[in-house]
Chains A and B, each alone.
Chain A
């Protein structure tokens, strides 16, 4: 009886707390303005949702194709037990896997080395990946919402879509919109939308941040690492030092970089890719990213094997824009008329 009364008191207290908190938040914010008062009139939900609808339909089609292929394989096997298992799989849907985006081996490749991880190959969580040192092999992976690049002579354990462990070597992270924990030599790195590298060398972890913020944790120790900083986990503690955000020491990530698809992309996306790949900060006025009608400047063609700097020159050559490097920045400006 007393327990029931205690529980009711607790609920009442919570409700009163909620009442105060909600009242304060709403009074500060005021009433919701009409969308038209926010300058958002004329935006139809249908138009806004059109790309999502296309993505949804494509995803359904992919799943349907996957299911049809599986059903055909089961029919070929003609084994009742397997067919029953297949049906169970169809009902529960495919288990999530990591996916190989690209694998690049330096010639001469080891026997079947790159072929072992062709683009699109699924890798089950719980798997360990080891890349060879000689000849070197680099891997690019989609893990959950994140893109990871694994250096040659490295070993990575894929624990889940939000957790990996670097056992040795180097890992580069292009973080997606969801949490990711990178375990390395007794440390945990958590990101806040960023690009960074984790390295394990001689049993010590080092994290270098190219963009955004990474939180490095070890037991009760905590270190926040920002762009241009490196965090080192030594037996003495976690220390912070300055680090370049571009240059030769980052060169390895280019080996495993998935290609940028230029055709149909827009200039802003290309410049974002250029920043991510080179570590330069691009400064560009927004009006230079759109055409006279205010629409994003669309790009055509292919980059082939161009390095990012060459690609930038090639892309800008097709526009009235030019670039200039100033320290760690690349300025984009309109060329003066002759």
Chain B
């Protein structure tokens, strides 16, 4: 297995979810939208700064495209990464169609005013905002308690023993969960960073530079 390959139990769970949906199981569809919609909302919101009215449309169209294209989901990568790639494409299409880039050039970067002032250029600030939204979306996409575990460890900086207490498991199990959470996060984060570095990356950053 390569470092980027998803662990078998995660891909298996995702493939099973897709198969249950393909079999017409309503509970699987509910599970799918409940788990993935918040992540898509965070991602779209982070990449549509100043255009909050477009966020629901982008999330809706991402879900529709995903549902229609489940046949093409190969299951050898993370379902979350696949969904983010669809979302990224929808966002790029939105920017391209509305040509807001030119409108901003004419009217000034009004949307950037809503970003916090850090002494960065507007482009850098926007870039940072989008990266952060990507990280938050990935935390949301992670299975089970992985997202919380990572926040507890790296933001609250609590010990593995305290994580174990919150999860109600042994320290050894908590350590194992943390390790798997890190690997899962890193896999999605690498895919996201690779997508961002492609020419014309489909998230509006390139379009607004």
Whole-angstrom CA separation of A22 from B186 in the bound complex: 7
Contact across chains for B136 and A29 when beta carbons are under 8 A apart: yes
Q: Point out the residues of chain B lying under 8 angstroms from A282, CB to CB.
A: 97, 99
User: What distance in Å separates the Cβ of B17 from its nearest Cβ neighbour in chain A?
Assistant: 13
Contact across chains for A14 and B45 when beta carbons are under 8 A apart: no
| A272 interface hit (Cβ, 8 Å) | yes
Contact across chains for B100 and A52 when beta carbons are under 8 A apart: no
**CB under 8 Å from chain A, chain B span 66-124:** 66-69, 71-72, 85-86, 88-90, 92-93, 96-100, 102-103
Contact across chains for B202 and A27 when beta carbons are under 8 A apart: no
User: What distance in Å separates the Cβ of A330 from its nearest Cβ neighbour in chain B?
Assistant: 10
Q: Point out the residues of chain B lying under 8 angstroms from A21, CB to CB.
A: 186, 189
Contact across chains for A32 and B151 when beta carbons are under 8 A apart: yes
User: What distance in Å separates the Cβ of B204 from its nearest Cβ neighbour in chain A?
Assistant: 12
Contact across chains for B85 and A28 when beta carbons are under 8 A apart: no
Q: Determine which of B68, B100, B140, B201 lies in contact with A55 in the assembled complex, contact meaning CB atoms within 8 Å.
A: B68
Chain B contact surface mostly: helix
Contact across chains for B135 and A283 when beta carbons are under 8 A apart: no
| B24 interface hit (Cβ, 8 Å) | yes
| B199 interface hit (Cβ, 8 Å) | yes
Band of interface residues on A: 35 or more
Contact across chains for B154 and A26 when beta carbons are under 8 A apart: yes
Contact across chains for B33 and A178 when beta carbons are under 8 A apart: no
Q: Determine which of A32, A52, A268 lies in contact with B136 in the assembled complex, contact meaning CB atoms within 8 Å.
A: A32
Known: A31-B155, A177-B89, A284-B98. A51 touches B64 (CB 8 A): yes
User: What distance in Å separates the Cβ of B153 from its nearest Cβ neighbour in chain A?
Assistant: 8
| B21 interface hit (Cβ, 8 Å) | yes
**Chain B, Cβ-Cβ closest to A295:** B53
Contact across chains for A22 and B132 when beta carbons are under 8 A apart: no
User: What distance in Å separates the Cβ of A257 from its nearest Cβ neighbour in chain B?
Assistant: 18
User: What distance in Å separates the Cβ of A296 from its nearest Cβ neighbour in chain B?
Assistant: 8
Q: Determine which of A15, A27, A35, A275 lies in contact with B154 in the assembled complex, contact meaning CB atoms within 8 Å.
A: A27
Contact across chains for B136 and A272 when beta carbons are under 8 A apart: no
Whole-angstrom CA separation of A60 from B68 in the bound complex: 10
Whole-angstrom CA separation of A21 from B22 in the bound complex: 36
| B126 interface hit (Cβ, 8 Å) | no
Contact across chains for A23 and B64 when beta carbons are under 8 A apart: no
Whole-angstrom CA separation of A52 from B185 in the bound complex: 27
Contact across chains for A48 and B151 when beta carbons are under 8 A apart: no
Q: Point out the residues of chain B lying under 8 angstroms from A193, CB to CB.
A: 89, 92-93, 96, 200, 202
User: What distance in Å separates the Cβ of B173 from its nearest Cβ neighbour in chain A?
Assistant: 16
**Chain B, Cβ-Cβ closest to A61:** B24
- Of B7-15, B54-62, B163-171, the segment with at least 4 beta carbons within 8 Å of chain A is B54-62
| A204 interface hit (Cβ, 8 Å) | no
| A285 interface hit (Cβ, 8 Å) | yes
Contact across chains for A192 and B198 when beta carbons are under 8 A apart: yes
Q: Determine which of B33, B151, B182, B198 lies in contact with A45 in the assembled complex, contact meaning CB atoms within 8 Å.
A: B33
Q: Determine which of B33, B102, B139 lies in contact with A283 in the assembled complex, contact meaning CB atoms within 8 Å.
A: B102
Contact across chains for A26 and B155 when beta carbons are under 8 A apart: yes
Contact across chains for A25 and B189 when beta carbons are under 8 A apart: yes
Contact across chains for B51 and A23 when beta carbons are under 8 A apart: no
Known: A32-B151, A39-B45. A52 touches B64 (CB 8 A): yes
Interface mask (A280-294 → B, CB under 8 Å = 1, otherwise 0): 011111100100001
What is A's interface to B at a CB cutoff of 8 Å?
14-15, 18-19, 21-23, 25-33, 35, 38-40, 43, 45-46, 48-53, 55-56, 59-60, 93, 96, 144-145, 161, 176-178, 192-194, 211-213, 215, 224, 226, 268, 271-272, 275, 281-286, 289, 294
What is B's interface to A at a CB cutoff of 8 Å?
3, 21-22, 24, 29, 33-34, 37-38, 41-42, 45, 51-53, 55-56, 59-61, 63-69, 71-72, 85-86, 88-90, 92-93, 96-100, 102-103, 128, 131-132, 135-136, 139-140, 147, 150-151, 154-155, 179, 182-183, 185-186, 189, 198-202
10 further A-B contacts with Cβ under 8 Å, apart from A43-B55, A48-B60, A178-B69, are A32-B151, A48-B63, A49-B33, A50-B60, A59-B67, A93-B22, A178-B85, A224-B199, A272-B96, A286-B100
18 example contacts (A-B, Cβ-Cβ < 8 A) are as follows A15-B182, A26-B155, A31-B151, A33-B136, A40-B41, A46-B33, A52-B33, A52-B60, A53-B29, A55-B68, A56-B21, A60-B24, A96-B71, A161-B72, A177-B65, A177-B88, A194-B200, A286-B100
Please name the 3 residue pairs, one residue from A and one from B, whose CB atoms are nearest each other, closest first.
A177-B89, A52-B63, A29-B135
